[in-house]
C-alpha cells in the first residue's frame, strides 16, 4: 500500500470522525431540546457518535480491500 493510499484513508477516517462528531452533537442538542437531563443527553450523543463511527469504519472496509 502506497503512502498516497494511506493518506487518502487517513483523510477519509478524519472526515468520517468529524461527521460522527457533528451527529453526536446534534443528538445531544436534540435530547436537551426535549427536556432530557444532561447525563441522558450526553448518553444519547455518545451513542449517536459511536453508532455512526461504527458504521463508517465498516464502510471503510470496501476501499481498503480494493486498494490492498
Q: Measured at the alpha carbon of residue 50, what is the angle toward residues 40 and 5, in degrees to the nearest 5?
A: 155
- DSSP letter at 34 equals T
| Residue-level pLDDT at 6 | 84
> Model pTM?
0.81
The residues of the chain scoring below 70 in pLDDT are 67-68
Q: How many domains does the chain have?
A: 1
The residue segments making up the domain with residue 28 are: 3-67
Residue 67: predicted pLDDT: 67
pLDDT of 4 reads: 83
pLDDT for position 68: 64
Amino acid at each position: 500500500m502506497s503512502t498516497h493510499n494511506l493518506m487518502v484513508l487517513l483523510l477519509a477516517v478524519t472526515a468520517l470522525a468529524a461527521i460522527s462528531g457533528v451527529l453526536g452533537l446534534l443528538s445531544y442538542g436534540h435530547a436537551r431540546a426535549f427536556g432530557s437531563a444532561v447525563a441522558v443527553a450526553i448518553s444519547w450523543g455518545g451513542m449517536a457518535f459511536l453508532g455512526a463511527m461504527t458504521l463508517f469504519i465498516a464502510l471503510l472496509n470496501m476501499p481498503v480491500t480494493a486498494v490492498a
